Structure 1
């Protein structure tokens, strides 16, 4: 089911930060001209190239605090990429060689590493897996150093020493670098002639991979990684303009911070199965209620029996259907998953009788909505047999809910008391035959 909140909203902030970065870069000359006589701005310009490192350091601290290996590894990757392209990019552009260049290797490895580390958002630090990833990242640095033609590296004392001590290894590295260079020298469009065609394919494939993962998981972290990928690509696309890499890599770090906080909020306040607000969010809502409100407790009838008959996966589908209908309830209600098969709805500014009308419509919608249960035989059949089993491969089940509603009065003076009263009324509704709303 398409949900604007879970599909579009996580993409808004990454896109907004990238747009702000592009606008800032576009207006950079005029901004500098207006502020060139201000001493504070001049001091800021001195530390400006360090801005991405400051942001990445903050994210590393977050990763340490959250015990999140993916955050730390992603920041290390972005920091290395920013270092390579900001310090060696212009020199590498001027000094072409037959071998693999630092720009070509960095542009290819950046999206590949981001794709890998995007799948490590829930991995912990101080684990064998984390250490292995650190070692692989270190091996990439060594490989780039050995295989790439760094500016003036052929005449450096280090390379001269390697060639004198290990001449065969030096010749082998030179041959491998030349072969890789012949592959990576296939450049993309003229505007991106310093980015190889394999690197463009790597960026495109990684972006497609991240967007598909996001559509399936609705995880803000995956949306953030897509934004990071786009921002870093823009950062390495324009090496001639001074602040481009600084601005876009800073944006990438900010995207990672914001989406990490957003993902943490989602885990703490939103129920993962149904997408409704969870118990903690409901408790905070109860604290901030006014004098007039109504609270409804909702329970799925015979849910345990339904689970035992059709299985827990089908039971989860029932809960999703109940939550989906509850999210559309009228009356400006705030809806929550209370726990298990219980849900709650809070109607600010409404009496119990006013809330009853909206809840009764919701109850009728649930009772009249057909719920199709697919049989195990249909799920296991092949594409040909599914057509034959269509009439027998699915069953229609009836799902109903019981609802109890309460509002504050002389005895029920606090939201906690109103909630307990609504819960008691709910069980009266269940004992009275279920599939009803009682006040």
Structure 2
């Protein structure tokens, strides 16, 4: 699920929660009595899942929501002079957006680092003392500034709190734009802040804050699930879907499909020559080129091997796309370090392509058929595409090496041996 799809469901939940908020007084009495407890129940479930997934950030965010709700629910409506709506409400409204941003900026280290967890909990607890100290010691003129109204009839939030929420919201959006791989939680907190702003603005309507807080907790819980799914099904190095996602995709392929197996030529000797860091760069580069195939879904099968699944396509229909990718990878220049100087090098790839037929009806059989065709491509000289069951075509002259540098000497690239179906495939 891409970033846009996450934004769609987050936006949908946000709009629904805000739309239903004015209707809370019309709910059955039993639901109205249950509503104040919902944020605590859902947040508790979210904290349990976070511990199970070794995620500290959502725990701290949910804890902030719970403590914020408790403070507003049990202290703000009271008439006590030191803890009244005039003082505590603007302070908590000011602290909430800062907390949401604060916990996102701290690096995620999980719940196993006990000292780090203790440090974060101390920071959380210190805020309670800070609120108490501020309410006891802050001069009256500062209170007037913090609690000053926004000046708009429809906005009941204090001006300072409203300005802080807007500033934090823009900072979150800017941060997410800079992240190369923003987690779902990063996107979710942006919408959590919007929900909490609406809930705070309608705080004196019964159940409004509890309702928006419950939806905020639901969003965080769902973000945990989506993030866990992404980690389980996505290859971290290339950003492509992994083998688990490939195997699950076989469940709905239907009767007409093609599968291509691709291998980077001479990858083992390339790693030995240039190092594993450059090897990782090559894997990411090849993955980027493969991901440009619009008609198929690309997966990293393992090591230097990739799989492309073409649902509803024949080999003849997908050959042009594969040939375009093969040529693009072959012509791409890589500048890499070697012996203290920068050299130019290239990589090539080989494809084996197969389609479902009467002898190969199951996806894993078709994939094995494509793997055999890949072996033939290696035997025929690499840097080519071989369609299973068809005579070999001279799509590319046989090359001794897939790497070329701008130095005078060339390093020989011995083939990598790999056992495949009782035969040894060249790398």
Match of 1:44 in 2: 31
Counterpart secondary structure, 2:236: coil
> Do the aligned partners of residues 188 and 373 (structure 1) sit closer, same or farther apart at CA in structure 2, a change above 3 Å counting?
farther
Match of 2:324 in 1: 361
Verify: 1:9 aligned to 2:13, yes or no.
no
Report Cα offsets for 1:351-385 as digits up to 9, x if no partner.
444443432233234334x3453779xxxxxxxxx
In the alignment, the residues of structure 2 paired with residue 243 and residue 371 of structure 1 have an alpha-carbon distance, to the nearest angstrom, of 61
> Do the aligned partners of residues 240 and 99 (structure 1) sit closer, same or farther apart at CA in structure 2, a change above 3 Å counting?
closer
Counterpart secondary structure, 2:298: strand
Q: Among 160, 169, 172, which residue is 1:207 paired with?
A: 169
Counterpart secondary structure, 1:124: coil
TM-score for both structures, normalised by structure 1:
0.75
Verify: 1:438 aligned to 2:372, yes or no.
no
Match of 2:88 in 1: 102
Report Cα offsets for 1:323-367 as digits up to 9, x if no partner.
23323324x322211122221011233344444343223323433
Verify: 1:340 aligned to 2:303, yes or no.
yes
Verify: 1:253 aligned to 2:217, yes or no.
yes
Name the one with the larger helix percent: 1
Q: Is contact 1:296-1:404 (8 Å) kept?
A: yes
Match of 2:65 in 1: 78
In the alignment, the residues of structure 2 paired with residue 117 and residue 319 of structure 1 have an alpha-carbon distance, to the nearest angstrom, of 33
Q: Is contact 1:404-1:437 (8 Å) kept?
A: yes
> Do the aligned partners of residues 120 and 232 (structure 1) sit closer, same or farther apart at CA in structure 2, a change above 3 Å counting?
farther
Verify: 1:244 aligned to 2:240, yes or no.
no
> Do the aligned partners of residues 53 and 306 (structure 1) sit closer, same or farther apart at CA in structure 2, a change above 3 Å counting?
same
TM-superposed CA distance for 1:422, in Å, is 1.9
Task: Give unmatched runs, 5+ long, in structure 2.
Answer: 388-427
Correspondence list, 1:132-171, <5 A: 132-148=119-135
Q: Among 224, 231, 241, which residue is 2:195 paired with?
A: 231
> Do the aligned partners of residues 281 and 264 (structure 1) sit closer, same or farther apart at CA in structure 2, a change above 3 Å counting?
same
TM-score for both structures, normalised by structure 2:
0.77
> Do the aligned partners of residues 210 and 301 (structure 1) sit closer, same or farther apart at CA in structure 2, a change above 3 Å counting?
farther
Correspondence list, 1:99-138, <5 A: 101-118=87-104, 119=106, 121-125=108-112, 127-138=114-125
> Do the aligned partners of residues 286 and 122 (structure 1) sit closer, same or farther apart at CA in structure 2, a change above 3 Å counting?
farther
TM-superposed CA distance for 1:225, in Å, is 1.6
Task: Give unmatched runs, 5+ long, in structure 1.
Answer: 36-40, 149-172, 377-392
TM-superposed CA distance for 1:279, in Å, is 0.8
Q: Is contact 1:21-1:251 (8 Å) kept?
A: yes
Q: Among 367, 391, 402, which residue is 1:419 paired with?
A: 367
Report Cα offsets for 1:16-65 as digits up to 9, x if no partner.
21111121125556xx2xx6xxxxx2211221222222211221221232
Match of 1:292 in 2: 256
Q: Is contact 1:221-1:260 (8 Å) kept?
A: yes
TM-superposed CA distance for 1:255, in Å, is 0.9
Q: Is contact 1:294-1:407 (8 Å) kept?
A: yes
> Do the aligned partners of residues 194 and 405 (structure 1) sit closer, same or farther apart at CA in structure 2, a change above 3 Å counting?
closer
> Do the aligned partners of residues 231 and 125 (structure 1) sit closer, same or farther apart at CA in structure 2, a change above 3 Å counting?
farther
Match of 2:55 in 1: 68
> Do the aligned partners of residues 98 and 359 (structure 1) sit closer, same or farther apart at CA in structure 2, a change above 3 Å counting?
closer
Match of 2:245 in 1: 281
What count of residue pairs does the alignment treat as equivalent? Answer: 383
Q: Among 349, 362, 368, which residue is 1:401 paired with?
A: 349
Q: Is contact 1:99-1:177 (8 Å) kept?
A: no
Match of 2:394 in 1: none
In the alignment, the residues of structure 1 paired with residue 37 and residue 317 of structure 2 have an alpha-carbon distance, to the nearest angstrom, of 59
In the alignment, the residues of structure 2 paired with residue 251 and residue 343 of structure 1 have an alpha-carbon distance, to the nearest angstrom, of 40
Q: Is contact 1:100-1:177 (8 Å) kept?
A: no
Counterpart secondary structure, 1:373: strand
